[in-house]
Amino acid sequence: MTAVHETPEVFVRPETPREFWTRPRRTRVPVRRIVRAVRQGQYGRRTVRFTYRAATVPFSGTARLGRAYWRWVTAADYRGADDYKFVERVRTRRRRTAWLVGTGYVVSSAVSAYTVGGSAALLAAGAVVASGSAVEVGKRIKDRPTPFKLPGMGKGRTPAENLVVKAAIDAKLGRADGMKLAAPVLTEAGGWSTVLQLPPGQKARKCLGLEGDFASALGVGESQVVFELVPEHAGQLVIFVAKSDPFLKVYRSPLLGRTEPVDFWRGVPAGINGRGREERLRLVDASLLVAGEPRAGKSAAVNGIIGTAALAVTPRIHLWDGKGAGDHRPWRKIAHTAEKRNAKGLLAHLHQMQAQMERVFDLLDENGGSTKLTPELCRKLGIDVELTIVDETRYYVSSPWGDEIVEAMVDIASRGPAAGVLLVLATQRMTTDAIPGPLKGVCSLRWAMRCPDTTASNAVLGQGAAGAGYNASEIPRSHRGVGILDADGSDPVKVRSYFLDDAGTDLQEVAEAAYALRAAAGTLPTAAASAEPEADPVELVLTAFGEADRLHTVDLVEALGDGWTAARLAEVLKPYGITPGDVKIDGRNRNGYRRADLEAVFTPA
């Protein structure tokens, strides 16, 4: 007979008692894992190894200290030098020092033992062993596969010396054998610095241009690394690493808010370098060439120069604008000359400046003192500095009077600074037709903003500048206003120029302050020279384009404002041979104008 088991129709899961979740749980000890680790000898080997290394620290450290002391006494660090007489003098001097130190140590230990007791000798020996232990511990920390860091420490701190040396070796700044630091890693405002000692026979100048490689090896941004040469040692290189990119910051111009005159002879505040220090440009020493591609910051650099001269009260400012878009409009009321697109007028002005040079040189000769103008001689002889700024130089040097203009500029640029006749040339084109070779050669001061390529950078800074580590084409587009300043008498340096908002009120504020200071000093130009010229309608049309390459007629008329119509616009441009035509913008083909047609009118063929 088969037994029949009754099965419930519905399965009900037993409910866990509520007390199970509220009672305390016991922490289970991983017994199996510990037993397995003990059987495999992991903990045992680590314990024995740690105990052994800790016990041998005083002995190995003292021995290491003794070996280092012996290498120093025998001048082993000069073993590869070729000058054996020099090495022998170093070894003799160190042996003498070692004898004096050793004798002093033994005598002081003996006297202490005699007067105090045997504990003094033990303390003296303990001091040596403690020093050795510290050396050994430091060596072991440096040899760790990963840097030794305490919890919460290390971030934002200066790196270890071995890390800096390793980064220099990885960046191929020199041979690994002999690469070391000549100064400790020091924390500075905004970053840290040190001095790298290159192996014997290698020049630090060859490291210029390798900032990017070093930054990659160190794990920081390329713009954060600054290399500087040590004038007293050709084999040492100063390394500065900023905490953040210093060229992404905007630095307010020190010209803003001025209520007192500035000293033009002290130099123009050009901007801030990679170390956060101000760079000054002494225009009274040489002529200046400023160049860079459009919207790279050239206008801000030139406006900084004009603003400094304006606030200096005494310099006479002469502005020649070859672009003709009204960039110098805020300065017209304080400038003694403010002309645009007038090549023949510039030639006449340059001849006047040559005559001024000859007059000043005659006065200096009659005075019998210095053959170069100084602030004291300016006050004594009643002479003012004559500052001529030529913007968009290509327009003038490629005009029918170009050859004569270049000849006069070369004469002024080479002899003028000694007579206080200064010349500043600015251009967006870095070709020979913009700045001819003879003219570029006499401009000792160069300021290169971002350039389109290496050839253009060398055209501004000089042949071979890129190979020496100074390449303005490597400046990122995000670093507007950053350029390489090659000031006479020092190595080129990357600078972020001070910011003066030409579209805002900055220029107007500086111009108004300069006007007030010059009015108080009685150095404003005459009414005839300072009267602001009537606005050129063609200039207004070109300005209305803004940054656009082409505009429909209705949009251009709207940008010009009240009083302008399509008929008036056509009437103004007709004498220049410019007529409206079909212009396609965003898929719409309508009547309009092109910016290039207007610019071609003012650019000689």
The number of beta carbons lying within 10 Å of the beta carbon of residue 87 is 17
Compute the half-sphere exposure of residue 152: CA atoms within 13 Å on the CB side of its CA. Answer: 0
The interaxial angle of helices 42-73 and 31-40, nearest 10 deg, is 50
Mean pLDDT of 219-237: 93
The number of beta carbons lying within 10 Å of the beta carbon of residue 446 is 24
Q: pTM for this structure?
A: 0.64
| Cα gap 62→68, rounded to integer Å | 10
- Who wins on pLDDT, 147 or 268? 268
Helix (H) or strand (E) holding 193, with range, is: strand 191-197
- What is the total count of domains within the chain? 4
> Does 86 share its domain with 165?
no
Q: What is the pLDDT of residue 150?
A: 44
CA-CA-CA-CA dihedral for 252, 254, 257, 263, to nearest 10 = -170
Domain that residue 471 falls in: 266-528
Distance of CA 270 to the CA centre of its chain: 11
Residue 29 falls within a domain, yes or no? no
Give the CATH number, domain containing residue 503. 3.40.50.300
The closest alpha carbon to 385, from 340, 318, 440, belongs to: 318
> Does 501 share its domain with 544?
no
Mean pLDDT of 507-536: 77
Please report, for residues 541, 582, 585, 591, the alpha-carbon distance to residue 588 in angstroms, rounded to integers and kept in the order given: 22, 10, 5, 10
The string of pLDDT tens digits covering residues 193-203 is 999 999 999 99
User: Which of 211, 244, 277 finishes a domain?
Assistant: 244
User: With 60 as the cut, is the pLDDT of residue 539 above it?
Assistant: yes
Q: Which residues pair with 599 in a beta bridge?
A: none
> Does 165 share its domain with 94?
no
Round the average pLDDT of the chain to a whole number and report it. Answer: 82
Give the CATH number, domain containing residue 214. 3.30.980
> Does 91 share its domain with 125?
yes
User: With 60 as the cut, is the pLDDT of residue 384 above it?
Assistant: yes
Asked whether 205 and 246 are in contact (CB, 8 A), the reply is no
Least confident stretch, 101-110, 138-147, 176-185: 138-147
Residue 409 falls within a domain, yes or no? yes
Q: What is the pLDDT of residue 370?
A: 86
User: Which of 528, 553, 576 finishes a domain?
Assistant: 528
| Cα gap 391→450, rounded to integer Å | 17
Least confident stretch, 224-238, 274-288, 328-342, 531-545: 531-545
The string of pLDDT tens digits covering residues 416-447 is 999 999 999 999 877 777 788 889 889 989 99
> 421 — phi, psi (to 5°)?
-100, 105
